[in-house]
Amino acid sequence: MQTDISTSAVCLFVGMLSTATFAAAEVTAPPASERFARADTEEVPGFQQHVVPLLGRLGCNGRACHGSFQGRGGFRLSLFGYDFKMDHAALTGRATSKDGLRVNQESPGESLIVRKPSMDVDHEGGQRFVAGSWEHHLLMRWVASGNLGVERPRELKTLKIEPSEIVFGDKAVSVQLRVVAVWQDGTREDVTGLCRFRTNDDAIVTVDREGRLHSTGHGDTHVIAFYDNGVKAVPVMRGMSGQAETKSAPLSATTEVDGFISAKLRKLGIAPSAICSDAEFLRRASIDLTGTLPTPDEVEQFLADPSSDKRHQKIDALLGRPAYAAWWANKLCDFTGCNPNRQAELGQETSLQWYTWIYDRLGRNVPYDELIEGIVLAKGRHEGQSYDDYAAERSAYFRDESPIDFTRRETMPHYWSRQTQQKPEEKALAFAHSFLGIRLQCAQCHKHPFAPWTQEDFKQFAAFFNNIQYGVAPGAKERYRELANQVGLSIRGKNGSPVRRDVLKHARAGRTVPWRELYVSERSGPASLDLLRTGIVELGPKSDSRIAIMGWMNEADNPWFARAFVNRVWASYFHIGIVDPPDDLNPANPPSNPELLDWLAASFVDRNYDMKWLHRQIVASQAYQRSWKPNDTNREDRRNFSRAIPRRIPAEVVYDGLKQAVAGSDQLDEVRNDLTRRAIGHLSMRLAGTYSMQVFGKPDRAVNCDCERVNQPTLLQSVFLQNDPLVEQRINESGWIQEIADSERAGNKVDRSKLIRAAWLRTVNRPPSAEETEKAEKHLAGVDSLSEGMRDLVWALINTKEFILNQ
């Protein structure tokens, strides 16, 4: 196997250096294929180290076969392995078929686990190995040597793969991977033949069962090796131009972000696209930073501005606008799941409080960790507050006269009180998604296929949330009941009842109504819990376990907290995250540019989680400011930010943008600045679930997945833009076109080309070309009235690809 790694002339092994570090010092046990090559070997295979991984590699415990929850042919294994007890019991138990025992120690050759996969007897799953192969011998030896299970699972320390990075040259070649398992006790074994392998893109590289890679095309991706609960990715690249590395001209890099991106592009032989035009930049940055289209005046001024740093100035100006806080509060509401239909009570009011609490903090640029801490550590009462004072304060948020400002609360408890967050498991899943960008749901039922998580890991993590309650706290029951009686709230059960609308009117009038509260209940005893394999946390019966989690997230080297956020923010500025999907950080889904992600995350922490700093780094980069127009080298690149990929503008921006495009001259500022009436702002909650929002893919925030927001074009969107009553109403009732009609009726002389220019500026936010003006003129000349023609023109412009795309 060693000889397979010998370097071919056209193949570069960047990772060869690492070989020395583990080849020399310790003894590595040879691969199972050598040790079990002979039938008469004395070797005894381990259940955890050899048998279960082999069954995994052979596909036996896959979901289509015996890993299915129903099993196959009466035989069920744990999905993707790792439940050693269950698997051992299944193997050594009595088979249901008349063919005999799965494991027959007296005559190992009669064992079904040998006869079935070698097709000695009929096997629906087909032949998995041939008689006499090392796989065959390994299983025979396990059976014969006593077919022992696992008392205490061994801990895998790490998987080492060589080469650790592969850059293919232009001629397709193949490379053999070698995987070494390093166990906690220091033992090492070559486990190449016991791994499962997967390519993340078989148009670039394929990998066979033996771990041999074949280059199939240009581009970059990863090959993943799975063994025990270890997952390791190997980057694989092949330059686009075939002149990778050395020959491509150095690219000028102006920002640190660009430095990392250029380095990757050089490896791939990709030249980036040119920088986009000023008008493209203005529209793009306005949409991404503030969810808002620029106004005609703003476009004209920006284009006319001769200063060389005008883009930087514009970024700062945009970050200073309330619309920035609104749009990004809306995004944070996406990530944290602020859904008006899933609140504990008073869905609209509660979700609006949630939103404005975040909005207020974004406006003040409160550090991200501090903002999140206010959510994570939220409780109903402030420190030392009595139940009465709590209920009075919460009621006073709704008081008609001089209400208390909810945003002044130190913490925002609604995250925890949602209807969908009642069980600890639900809290664990949502928490992992919202703040860590990881998906634990697989591990709820079986070993996670792409991450080290086992069911036990999930159980322990979920137990952190056992005592986070929303209800009536012990000690407050009496007062709660008294208040309920006063306002006529009927209570079901001992956990209190939601405040209904008819009760809320008492709060409006200034009276105190009974609110349930978010509190930490007492555990039955101390707990000792593993925090996602990063260490054991000891919890006393009364301790708030969330403090331990928050402290851990705040550690500078936390693997997920900062990374998840910077990656999500990045993904909002491009068509794709550095890790994509952005909420699926796992070792089998590695970043396309790890150095970039590491730098962004580390610098974000160093800068005290300064969100505006983060936005500025991204928007000021050349990578963000590239044109969508491709060149010969980057046409197929969609992973490395070498050009802009057009993105459909988000639902809320469509809604607001349509309104703004047709607003009367005296309304233009108001429709932009009154955030209470904007879909990107406060109106977001009211619009949730409405037809236009559904058509354009605004997320319901009902499931733990960033994929809920869909920015992909659909047929219904086209039908909507062409002929929906809402669009028709916008155009027909346009204040701007009314002005034109009034002026026309008054017999005023109108400058058509000026109107045409305004139409372009209002919709696609750039001046029209001479040719476009001419086409529009031609249309206006052929209709009965100017206002009619302008309606047609606005209709046509909002139906262009340029309007609906952020390009």
Partner 1 sequence: MASSTTLLSRRQLLKIGVLGNGLSLSNYLRLNAAAAKQDTGRSAILVFLGGGPSHQDTFDLKPNAPSEYRGQFAPIATSAAGVEICEHMPRLARRAGKYAVLRGITHNLAAHGLGTRYLMTGNRPTPVVNYPMYGSVVSREFPAPEDLPSFVSIDRPVEGPGYLGPEYGPLSTGEKPRYGQPFRVRGITLGDGLTVDKYQSRRELLTDIDTAFDGFRQLDDSVRGLDRFSEQAYRIISSPRARDAFELSRESEREVARFGRHDFGQSMLLTTRLVEAGVRFVTVLLEGWDTHADNFNTLGRELLPRFDQSMSALLDRLDEQGRLDSTSILVTGEFGRTPKVNNKSGRDHWARAMCALMAGGDVVGGRVTGATDQKAEGPVSDGYTPDDLAATFFQNIGIDPKTEYEANVGRPITLVRDGETIPEVLS
Segment 749 to 778, residues that bind partner 1, using CB under 8 A: 764, 772, 775-776
CA dist 181 to 81, 192, 213, 258, 417, Å?
Answer: 17, 9, 20, 36, 44
The only residue of 638, 677, 686, 752 in contact with partner 1, by rule CB under 8 A: 638
Q: Which of 207, 126, 221, 119 has its CA nearest to residue 167? A: 221
The site that binds partner 1 (CB under 8 A) totals a number of residues, namely 76
* Interface of this chain with partner 1, residues 156 to 215, rule: CB under 8 A: 201-203
Q: Which of 414, 413, 396, 416 has its CA nearest to residue 405? A: 396
CB 586 within 8 A of CB 450: yes
Q: How far is the CB of 463 from partner 1 (least distance, A)?
A: 19
Interacting span for partner 1 (CB under 8 A) from 134-142, 289-297, 633-641, 659-667: 633-641
- Pick the closer one to partner 1 by CB: 119 or 702: 702
- Pick the closer one to partner 1 by CB: 511 or 779: 779
The dihedrals phi and psi of 6, each to the nearest 5 degrees, come to -50, 135
- Pick the closer one to partner 1 by CB: 245 or 788: 788
The answer to whether residue 796 forms part of the interface with partner 1 (CB under 8 A) is yes
Q: How far is the CB of 638 from partner 1 (least distance, A)?
A: 6
- The dihedral region occupied by 59, where left means phi > 0, alpha psi between -120 and 50, and beta the remainder, is left
* Interface of this chain with partner 1, residues 300 to 329, rule: CB under 8 A: none
The only residue of 441, 455, 673, 738 in contact with partner 1, by rule CB under 8 A: 441
The only residue of 99, 256, 598, 792 in contact with partner 1, by rule CB under 8 A: 792
Q: How far is the CB of 367 from partner 1 (least distance, A)?
A: 29
Q: How far is the CB of 148 from partner 1 (least distance, A)?
A: 33
Q: How far is the CB of 723 from partner 1 (least distance, A)?
A: 5
- Pick the closer one to partner 1 by CB: 352 or 429: 429
- Pick the closer one to partner 1 by CB: 672 or 791: 791
* Interface of this chain with partner 1, residues 65 to 124, rule: CB under 8 A: none
Q: Which of 39, 9, 27 has its CA nearest to residue 132? A: 39
The dihedrals phi and psi of 166, each to the nearest 5 degrees, come to -130, 125
The only residue of 130, 629, 674, 785 in contact with partner 1, by rule CB under 8 A: 629
The answer to whether residue 795 forms part of the interface with partner 1 (CB under 8 A) is yes
- Pick the closer one to partner 1 by CB: 496 or 582: 582
The dihedrals phi and psi of 63, each to the nearest 5 degrees, come to -75, -20
Q: How far is the CB of 766 from partner 1 (least distance, A)?
A: 10
- Pick the closer one to partner 1 by CB: 169 or 337: 337
CB 496 within 8 A of CB 516: yes
Q: How far is the CB of 571 from partner 1 (least distance, A)?
A: 11
Query: How many residues are there in the chain?
Result: 807
The answer to whether residue 802 forms part of the interface with partner 1 (CB under 8 A) is yes
Decide: residue 449, CB within 10 A, 0-12 exposed, 13-18 middle, 19+ buried.
Answer: buried
Q: How far is the CB of 575 from partner 1 (least distance, A)?
A: 8
* Interface of this chain with partner 1, residues 538 to 597, rule: CB under 8 A: 576, 580-581, 584
Q: Which of 535, 536, 529, 587 has its CA nearest to residue 560? A: 587
Q: How far is the CB of 785 from partner 1 (least distance, A)?
A: 12
The dihedrals phi and psi of 90, each to the nearest 5 degrees, come to -65, -40
- Pick the closer one to partner 1 by CB: 229 or 717: 717
Q: Is 716 helix (H, G, I), strand (E, B) or coil?
A: helix
- Pick the closer one to partner 1 by CB: 19 or 422: 422
* Interface of this chain with partner 1, residues 609 to 628, rule: CB under 8 A: 628
Other CB atoms within 10 Å distance of the CB of residue 634: 22
- Pick the closer one to partner 1 by CB: 216 or 673: 216
Interacting span for partner 1 (CB under 8 A) from 28-36, 259-267, 394-402, 629-637: 629-637
CB 96 within 8 A of CB 160: no
Rounded Cα gap, residues 348 and 295, in angstroms: 31
Rounded Cα gap, residues 338 and 345, in angstroms: 13
- Pick the closer one to partner 1 by CB: 116 or 414: 414
Joined together, the tokens standing for residue 369 give: 């960790």
CA dist 669 to 321, 674, 764, Å?
Answer: 13, 8, 18
The answer to whether residue 801 forms part of the interface with partner 1 (CB under 8 A) is yes
Rounded Cα gap, residues 242 and 334, in angstroms: 42
First to last CA, the chain: 49
Provide the mask over 264-283, with x wherever binding to partner 1 is found by CB under 8 A and - wherever it is not.
Answer: --------------------
Q: Is 291 helix (H, G, I), strand (E, B) or coil?
A: coil
The residue type at 795: W
* Interface of this chain with partner 1, residues 648 to 667, rule: CB under 8 A: 648
Q: Which residue has the tokens 């400011």?
A: 625
Q: How far is the CB of 409 from partner 1 (least distance, A)?
A: 26
* Interface of this chain with partner 1, residues 407 to 436, rule: CB under 8 A: 420, 426, 429-430
The dihedrals phi and psi of 782, each to the nearest 5 degrees, come to -95, 5
* Interface of this chain with partner 1, residues 204 to 263, rule: CB under 8 A: 216-217, 219
- Pick the closer one to partner 1 by CB: 560 or 720: 720
* Interface of this chain with partner 1, residues 46 to 65, rule: CB under 8 A: 63
- Pick the closer one to partner 1 by CB: 429 or 761: 429
The answer to whether residue 799 forms part of the interface with partner 1 (CB under 8 A) is yes
Q: How far is the CB of 606 from partner 1 (least distance, A)?
A: 31
Q: How far is the CB of 705 from partner 1 (least distance, A)?
A: 6
Q: How far is the CB of 398 from partner 1 (least distance, A)?
A: 24
Q: How far is the CB of 803 from partner 1 (least distance, A)?
A: 9
* Interface of this chain with partner 1, residues 669 to 698, rule: CB under 8 A: 691, 694-697
The only residue of 382, 533, 635, 745 in contact with partner 1, by rule CB under 8 A: 635
The only residue of 176, 434, 460, 807 in contact with partner 1, by rule CB under 8 A: 807
Decide: residue 330, CB within 10 A, 0-12 exposed, 13-18 middle, 19+ buried.
Answer: buried
* Interface of this chain with partner 1, residues 694 to 733, rule: CB under 8 A: 694-697, 700, 702-705, 707-708, 710, 712-725, 728, 732
Number of H helices, E strands in the chain: 35, 18
* Interface of this chain with partner 1, residues 328 to 347, rule: CB under 8 A: 341
CB 73 within 8 A of CB 124: yes
- Pick the closer one to partner 1 by CB: 176 or 420: 420
Alpha-carbon torsion, ordered 453, 457, 461, 463, to 10 deg: 150
Rounded Cα gap, residues 302 and 308, in angstroms: 11
- Pick the closer one to partner 1 by CB: 142 or 696: 696
The answer to whether residue 460 forms part of the interface with partner 1 (CB under 8 A) is no
Decide: residue 184, CB within 10 A, 0-12 exposed, 13-18 middle, 19+ buried.
Answer: exposed
Rounded to the nearest 10 degrees, what angle do helices 368-376 and 347-363 cross at? 150
The residue type at 81: G
- Pick the closer one to partner 1 by CB: 7 or 714: 714
The answer to whether residue 442 forms part of the interface with partner 1 (CB under 8 A) is yes
Q: How far is the CB of 538 from partner 1 (least distance, A)?
A: 30
Q: How far is the CB of 589 from partner 1 (least distance, A)?
A: 8
Non-local (6+) Cβ contacts of 275 within 8 A are: 622, 625, 626, 627
Q: Which of 157, 46, 85, 197 has its CA nearest to residue 447? A: 85
The answer to whether residue 630 forms part of the interface with partner 1 (CB under 8 A) is yes
